[in-house]
Homo-oligomer: A and B are copies of this chain.
Amino acid sequence: MVKWAPLYTKMDFISDLIAGVTLGLTIVPQSIAYASLARLPAEIGLYSACTGGFLYVLFGTIRQVSIGPTSLMSLLTLQYIGNVPPEYMLHYLCLLTFLCGVVELLMGFLRLGFLTEIISTPVTSGFTSASSIIIIVSQIRHILGISYKSKNTKDDIYHLFEHFHEFRYGDTILGIFCIIILLSLRQFKNISCKNKTLKKLCWFISISRNAAVVCSSCFVAYYIESSGLKIPFKLTPNVTAGIPSPKLPSFGIYEGNKTISFFEMTEQLGSGFIIIPIVAVLINVSIAKAFATDGITDATQEMLTLSFCNIFASCFNSMPICGAFTRSAVSNASGVRTPFSNFYSALITILALTFLTPWFRYIPKATLAAVLIAAVLVLIDFEIVTVLWKFCRRDLIIVILTLILCLYFGIEIGLLIGVLCNLFHLLYLWARPKINCEKRKNEYGEYLVITPDLGLFFLGTDYLYMFLAKTARDNDKNLPVSVNCCYFKGMDYTAIKSLSMISRDFESRNQQLIFFNVCDFIIKLYKNSGCTNIQFCAIHENVNEYLFNKEINFTRSVTVPIIDTELQEIKYEVKNNEIEDKPLLNENEKNERLLKE
């Protein structure tokens, strides 16, 4: 908690102030836009932007994180409380935010942060792109100035075509114009010019583009109204000024003769208070990984912080909050030094809530839609498709699958199936290890060396069993077979039983079968397994003894166990001894080893 405070310098103060103010210029218009995305009043977005910020100053660990409403949180909020009757909306919203906080608290205490590990980059990419597309499709109606009710993206697309002829010139022109301006201003920060002040100015214009576009649109609307003309585009409804007095969220609704219990409310929220916290933690961890160069993020602390922020925010009519990736990039580029910058941006939000609310009703809906579309357009990951096409088609399939499923069946289903497919591949590697098979020859005769590249647990056991049976059948029946177990990570009961059975089969044919390079702990396990007919040996050299019943000839045949740590030792031995004459294991050691087995 506030680890940065004791070392806080004047330079830190100035840097944070600049970053905080820049952030404020982004967060105010974005919050109003994100609220409209979740079909909530604009002030809810602003409450969400300021309440979390104050707490993040106290508990946050990642300086770049700008906590508040985000497009993903808004989209997920809409998905889970979109169908609630409008009069109860606020109750459900606060409960959702509160429950998200509680689940994050649980995740923190139970150290469930690892849950975010199961969501790989391709799944995240597909999921983010799908969310962006869903948001864009949902906002086109505001750009076109048409209205309809819809439940999901399929509905949206259907209604867009159905109502397309109703589009209004005013909204459409303003909306498209705003998008063009926003996308153009975004490129300003890349302008290279030698004058440093000019470059700084370009950068500042680029960063504050949302505020600039929203203010200009407001001014245009105000000017038209004060000229006595009819405003040709739809405006935002009135915004309530000030911050609401804090109160705990309602655990059940009892109004008049209508009673909705806590359980009915949570049932309505569905899996929302599980999915939203996982996504929130995932985003914060991603931000930490992307910007934190010291590389150390205390995931548990971060989850607890997120939890406090959400629980606190839920008392102020806020929607679920987390770090925003785009704003964190702004914060990073503005030279933020500590999480204190969140204080300034929160302050600016409060100032806006206090003094600017009369002006908010002049914000055109089309402008907000443009802000949203411009913000999420850059989140659609086109680049990953070309990279993965060259890098790994399997990952590309995961991206596309997640994307399509998210669009078609909804975000949770897409996320879930994407993750499952991804995990399936890891299980597949256990089930179908690459098995290398080669014929070797030494002074005693020929033998087969079979090397599975992973093993040996129940999933890969049958496959190895079949492989050994097939190999034995395809080759000479007298050819001894050795299995190199250097890549075995352990062995379970299914595997031991199976090896015992295949050993029995080989025995019944009088064919030699030996497992070598078996680590000590597997040999120990084997002794406790109740099976007795498997030939295990720790090092490669003993293979000769078992396969050909010959004495080991150590001369010049350097024993090289596979495990690298042992390898290093032997390397030193090779350096320090006369390897021609002295075996690496002397007779005593050798006998000891043989006795053990």
Using a CB–CB cutoff of 8 Å, the interface residues on chain A facing chain B are 114, 116-118, 120-122, 285, 289-290, 293-296, 384, 387-388, 390-392, 394-395, 422-423, 425-427, 429-431, 436, 438, 440, 449, 451, 453-454, 457-459, 461-463, 465-466, 468-470, 472-473, 484, 486-487, 489-490, 492-494, 496-498, 501-502, 504-505, 508, 517, 525, 528-530, 556-558, 560, 562, 564-565, 567-568, 571, 574-575
Docked CA distance A425–B466 (Å): 24
A390→B493 CA distance, assembly (Å): 11
Beyond the given A289-B498, A454-B454, please list 6 additional residue pairs across the A-B interface where CB-CB is below 8 A. Answer: A114-B431, A114-B462, A285-B462, A387-B493, A557-B575, A560-B560
* A296, B470: Cβ atoms closer than 8 Å: yes
- Picked from B394, B430, B556, the residue with its CB within 8 Å of the CB of A575 is B556
- In the assembled complex, which residues on chain B have CB atoms less than 8 Å from the CB atom of A564? 449, 451, 484, 486, 517, 562
Contact B391 A494 (CB under 8 A): no
Known pairs A392-B492, A489-B454; A440 contacts B568 (CB<8 A): yes
For the complex, give the distance between the alpha carbons of A430 and B285 in Å.
20
Q: What's the Cα separation between A517 and B565 when bound, in Å? A: 13
In the bound complex, what is the Cα–Cα distance between A431 and B419 (angstroms)?
14
- Return A188 CB to nearest CB of chain B, in Å: 26
The reply to whether B117 and A296 form a contact with Cβ atoms under 8 Å apart is no
Alpha-carbon separation in the docked complex, A388 to B395 (Å): 39
A-B contact pairs, 12 of them (CB 8 A): A117-B458, A117-B463, A120-B458, A120-B493, A293-B504, A388-B493, A391-B528, A423-B427, A426-B426, A449-B564, A451-B565, A562-B567
Cβ-defined partner of A560 (8 Å) among B388, B438, B504, B571: B571
9 nearest CB pairs, A to B? A120-B458, A295-B469, A390-B528, A121-B494, A295-B505, A120-B494, A395-B493, A391-B528, A387-B530
Which secondary structure dominates where chain A touches chain B? Answer: helix
Q: Which residues of B contact A388 (CB under 8 A)?
A: 493
Which residue among A423, A453, A484, A493 has the maximum number of chain B CB atoms within 10 Å of its CB? A493
Residue from B122, B426, B557 within 8 A of A571 (CB atoms) = B557
Measured CB to CB, the nearest residue on chain B to A454 is B489
Q: Considering the chains assembled together, what is the distance between the CA atoms of A263 and B485 in angstroms? A: 51
Contacts of A473 in B (CB 8 A): 296
Complex CA–CA separation, A289 to B439 (angstroms): 27
B501 touches A289 (CB 8 A): yes
Q: A391-B530, A451-B564, A560-B560 are in contact. Are A295 and B465 (CB under 8 A)?
A: yes
- With known contacts A430-B426, A454-B489, A493-B122, A293–B571 Cβ distance under 8 A: no
Known: A427-B426, A487-B487. Is A438-B497 also a contact (CB below 8 A)? no
In Å, the complex CA distance between A497 and B498 comes to 39
Query: How many copies of this chain sit in the oligomeric assembly?
Result: 2
Partner of A453 from B449, B459, B489, B574 at Cβ < 8 Å: B489
Q: A289-B501, A505-B293 are in contact. Are A391 and B493 (CB under 8 A)?
A: yes
**Given A493-B392, A564-B484, A505:B294 Cβ within 8 A:** yes
A432: nearest residue on chain B (CB-CB)? Answer: B114
Report A510 CB to chain B, min CB distance, Å. 12
Contacts of A294 in B (CB 8 A): 469, 505
Residues of chain B lying within 8 A (CB to CB) of residue A493: 120-122, 384, 387-388, 391-392, 395
A440 to B470 Cα, complex, angstroms: 44
Known: A387-B529, A391-B525, A528-B391. Is A293-B508 also a contact (CB below 8 A)? yes
A120, A458, A465 — most chain B CB neighbours (10 Å): A458
Nearest B residue to A399 by beta-carbon distance?
Answer: B493
Is the CB–CB distance between B296 and A122 below 8 Å? no
Q: How far is the CA of A466 from the CA of B461 in the complex (A)?
A: 33
Q: What are the residues of chain B within 8 A of A120 when measuring CB–CB?
A: 457-458, 492-494
Considering residues A114, A426, A470, which has the most beta carbons from chain B within 10 angstroms of its beta carbon?
A: A426
- A494 touching B122, Cβ below 8 Å: yes
Closest to A387 in B: B530
Closest chain B residue to A507, Cβ basis: B293
Docked CA distance A5–B289 (Å): 67
A431 & B117 in contact (Cβ 8 Å cutoff): yes
CA distance A502 to B472 in the complex (A): 46
Measured in the bound complex, the distance between the Cα atoms of B578 and A329 in whole Å is: 59
- Which residues of chain B are within 8 angstroms of A494 by Cβ–Cβ distance? 120-122
Q: Which residues of B contact A451 (CB under 8 A)?
A: 564-565
Bound: A391/B524 CA distance, A? 9
Chain B residue with the shortest CB-CB distance to A487: B487
Q: Which residues of chain B have C-beta atoms less than 8 A from A567's C-beta? A: 560, 562
Q: B residues within 8 A CB of A285?
A: 462
Residue from B117, B296, B392, B501 in contact with A469 in the complex, judged by beta carbons closer than 8 Å: B296
* A470: nearest chain-B partner, CB-CB: B296
Known A-B contacts A426-B459, A567-B560; the reply to A392 vs B293 at CB < 8 A is no
**Known contacts A564-B562, A565-B451; A422 and B458 CB within 8 A of each other:** yes
